[in-house]
Every structure is written in structure tokens, then in C-alpha cells.
Amino acid sequence: MHSAPATPARAFLFDMEGTIVDNMGFHTDSWITFFARRGRAIEAEEFFRATAGRQGGEIIRSYLGEHLPDDEVARLNHEKESVYRELYAPHLEAVTGFDALIARAKEQGVKLAVGTAAPPANVAFTLDGLDLRRHFDAIVGAQDVARGKPHPDVFLKAAELCGVAPEHCIVFEDAPLGVEAARRAGMSCVVLTTTLPPEAFTGFDNVIAIVRDFGELKAELLFA
């Protein structure tokens, strides 16, 4: 007599900025402030589309010069992130429905991970500020992978740490570069329209749902 085959391990991989927390407007404002100090004007929505999901150092080099030495890039990135944390601190909260979704996932034995371009100080600021770190089986940040999104490194590493095959992962994202990273990793993706409208995500064949927040998600889509 054969026992039923075990259900394969599954994982939910969450981008952090703009997905777990609706904070991308504050990040964009902090970049605007950072560049304004250097006499550079940036257009908010265009900047978000081009950069969200890339690591801070990658963004700084692409706007201020590839030649900048590592220590200078680190110093500039620290300045920008300090401005961001100061702006966002009074508003820190998880996106509607997030707590309920992860509670349900844990009941169902779904592994949970974070895959973010954020540096360690921002990961701590968000996940510890909201007491969420304890829920995650893996947290992969900017310091853990060589390349930011749209490269798939961050999601592939998170899946590996969870012991789950890419095709059994669902990624939650708010940015086109992040959806592309999930696509390159061979993963389905749920899009949150915290920052951009649904039409910003047309053309991605890996998107299974587009919602305003986690409360709008259909359980059967995620837990079938």
C-alpha cells in the first residue's frame, strides 16, 4: 500500500519596501532630498520605475558616477537611508492584511522569507520596529547577494534558505524590477499597487494577482 505523496514545500517570498510596508513614497522623498543637496532634480514616478528593487549603491553609482569608490558610496548611502528613516519613522505600519496572511501561511506550513534590496539598518528598522522578524524562515538583504533586482539572486537565495524549489514560491512585490526578478527566478508573483497602478505591470506572464493590499487576496489562489 502506497502512502499519498507528500505535498511539496511551499514558500511566500516578500519584498519589504512598498510591500510589507507602504513606504516607497518616503524612500522617493528621501532620494529627492539627497539629490537636491547635490543640485540634481529627479522626477518621482520615473525614478521609482527605474530604481525600485536596485541596491542603494547601484542607484548612487548610476546617478553620480560609476567611478565612486566603495567607501564614498557607503557614506552616501548611509546619508540617504538616515533621511528616509527619519521621514518614515512616525508612519511605520504593515500593509493591511499582512498579519492575517502570514498567520494563515504558518498554519498551512508555508515557509516565509523576505527578499529585499534594503541594507541591514532598514531591515532592522522595519522588521524589528514591527516585531515581524520572528515570523520569517529567511531574510535576504542587500548585503547577502551580489546583485539587486531585476537579477533573481535575492529570491533564489531566499528560496534556497527555505529549502523550497522556485516553482513552489510565490513572490509579493510592488515594483516592476522586482516582478522581473521573480520572473527570472521562475516564480509566480502577486503585485501590490501601493506605489504604481496596475497597468505598470502589463506584459509580465508570471503575475497571478494584482491587489491594493493583502486583504484583497483570495485564499484559494494562495493556498490551493
Kindly list the distances between the CA atom of residue 103 and the CA atoms of 22, 100, 125, 129, 192, in Å, as whole numbers in the listed order: 20, 5, 22, 18, 19
* pLDDT tens digit sequence for 123-138: 999 999 999 999 999 9
Q: What b-and-e string marks burial along 57-70, b requiring 16 or more CB atoms within 10 Å of the CB? A: bbbbbebbeeeeee
What's the confidence (pLDDT) of residue 7? 75
* pLDDT tens digit sequence for 57-77: 999 999 999 999 999 999 999
* pLDDT tens digit sequence for 77-108: 999 999 999 999 999 999 999 999 999 999 99
Whether the CB-CB separation of 130 and 93 falls below 8 Å is answered with yes
> Is the pTM here over 0.85, yes or no?
yes
The number of residues making up the chain comes to 224
Backbone phi, psi, residue 189, to 5°: -140, 135
pLDDT, mean over the chain: 94
Structural domains in the chain plus CATH codes:
11-22+92-223 (3.40.50.1000), 24-91 (1.10.150)
Kindly list the distances between the CA atom of residue 131 and the CA atoms of 54, 59, 93, 159, 214, in Å, as whole numbers in the listed order: 25, 29, 11, 22, 18
Q: Is the pLDDT of residue 5 over 70?
A: no
